[in-house]
Structure 1
Amino acid sequence: MGQVETFVERIAAVKLENCFNPYADTCEIFDRRSAPLIRRQNLLRILCALGAAGEIDVWVGRDLGYRGGRRTGLALTDEHSLELYAFHLKVFSLERSTHGPPVKERTAASVYRVLTAVNIPILTWNVFPLHPHESGKPMSNRQHTRSEAELGFSFLEELCTSFPVRNLIAIGNDAAVWTQRLAPRNLCVRHPSYGGQTIFLKQMNEIYGQRIESYGQGGAI
């Protein structure tokens, strides 16, 4: 088993209370039977594609949410963004692991408005790579704990030392607290949620020199 495969399997082996691990756990409501395998395979395709790149940028969020990463297994990525990510990285396909209509997430919509306009390969990741939820409420979001973040940071650190990272960009202050450990001069932008879309797009425009216009505040959170 290669380094990337081992990395994915180690994340899949993490089991924590009140956390959904999309690479090992199955949602009884929305997931297909093979959902964890599909999400592992998608992540493996992404990491292998990025490993072949000359340099990459890493965009770091906080943790997986129940509308996005819980379903896709990918940070800052909802089901409407899977094929956009596949096209961006020039991988054959990224498969959905759920049944029913695809679910939108507002943060992912903002992120992919930028990601599809930049040329350098992007790895979307989180400080904590699982979906933390409130006790007894699997379809809720909570912020990771300190110990969860410490565990998650070890995976982020490994990625940033294994890949040719050009820019490390924290999306939101919660992520910036941890990315500063890796690169004190790393970049930080406003998180697009809770009315931050316009500032987020403006800051990403400044970083990448793209003309990415702001848009309405409607849509799913």
Structure 2
Amino acid sequence: MASSAIQTIARPEPASTRLTVLIALGDAARAEQLVDALAASEDLLPILAGSGMGQTADVALVDEAASESRAVSPATPCVLLSRRAGHESGNVFAMLPASADGLLIAAALRLAASGYRIGRAGPSDLGAHGEFHAGVSEDETPDDNQPRAALSPREAEVLALLAEGAPNKVIARRLNISVHTAKFHVAAILIKLGAANRTDAIAIAMRQGLVLV
């Protein structure tokens, strides 16, 4: 299945309904901005490093100034905001441009927390749109013959909302459809992508270039 080519580490789903996100950035203003942006997501609970609450977290957001901070446990998967390529370590699961917006960061945090490593695209691909595609680690072999899933326009809309972490009720409200119909579209997307769950579907879609946040 396509998911086997991109899932690198099997991590259990967090017990809490919200992922605890430790924000450890050298730029305090940027950190506070992202705390506010991520807090708007129903499934993310951002906390600032050094606030007295951030010793344990499901996933961390760091930048180059704070990537070696002891505020982040070596066992915590990290999303790194970086202005240059090649700055990687064992617990960096995703690297994004420093200017990435909140939606892109939130999507990467969800995937990193679930054990997916997200490859950074080249500078020309990142550009002003902040686009990125999921990748595989060096010791994995992607299935280059895997066809892109043929999603309907409505399924593409649902997939975009899944990438934002939207639950079925939110998808239904945003697209003006019933919750039952939203569940149907989600199930169809998982089947077409060969995904085991919603997180798996997002990772596969990014791998195939179906989701550009």
TM-score of the two chains, using structure 2 as the length reference: 0.28
Q: Give the structure with the larger helix fraction.
A: 1
**TM-score between the two structures when normalised by the length of structure 1:** 0.27
